[in-house]
Amino acid sequence: MNCPECGKEMTEGFLQGNTNSLFFNMQRQKSAVCGENGVCMAQGRLRPADFGGFICKECGIVVFQYKNSLR
Ligand SMILES: [Zn+2]
């Protein structure tokens, strides 16, 4: 998938979170923690999340389908 902002190829990975933070991991983490090269996207009180998606680190854009939860 290409970035809707800059048009470059986006990196595929996993949007994962726990009750305290949300991150985009390049490798899916079983325990929903920020993995190597992961990007922390939010901190604060959240609900657990685990989705496949794409990221453009340059533009700060993440694209994911909220109906494709990986549970
Ligand atoms: Zn971009």
Going from the Cα of 12 to the center of ligand 1, the distance in angstroms, rounded, reads 13
- Tens of pLDDT, residues 17-33: 888 899 999 999 888 78
Domain ranges of the chain: 11-66
Output the DSSP codes for the chain. Answer: -B-TTT-PBPEEEEEEE-SSEEEEESS--TT----TT-EEEEESS---EEEEEEEETTTTEEEEEEEEE--
Neighbouring C-beta atoms of residue 17, cutoff 10 Å: 22
Give the pLDDT confidence score for residue 30 in this predicted structure: 86
pTM (whole model) above 0.85: no
Ligand 1 ion: nearby residues, β-carbon < 5 Å: 3, 5-6, 56, 58-59
Give the pLDDT confidence score for residue 68 in this predicted structure: 67
- Tens of pLDDT, residues 51-68: 999 999 999 999 998 876
Which positions ≥6 away from 40 have C-beta within 8 Å? 21, 22, 23, 34
Going from the Cα of 55 to the center of ligand 1, the distance in angstroms, rounded, reads 8
Going from the Cα of 60 to the center of ligand 1, the distance in angstroms, rounded, reads 7
Percent of the chain exceeding pLDDT 70 equals 96
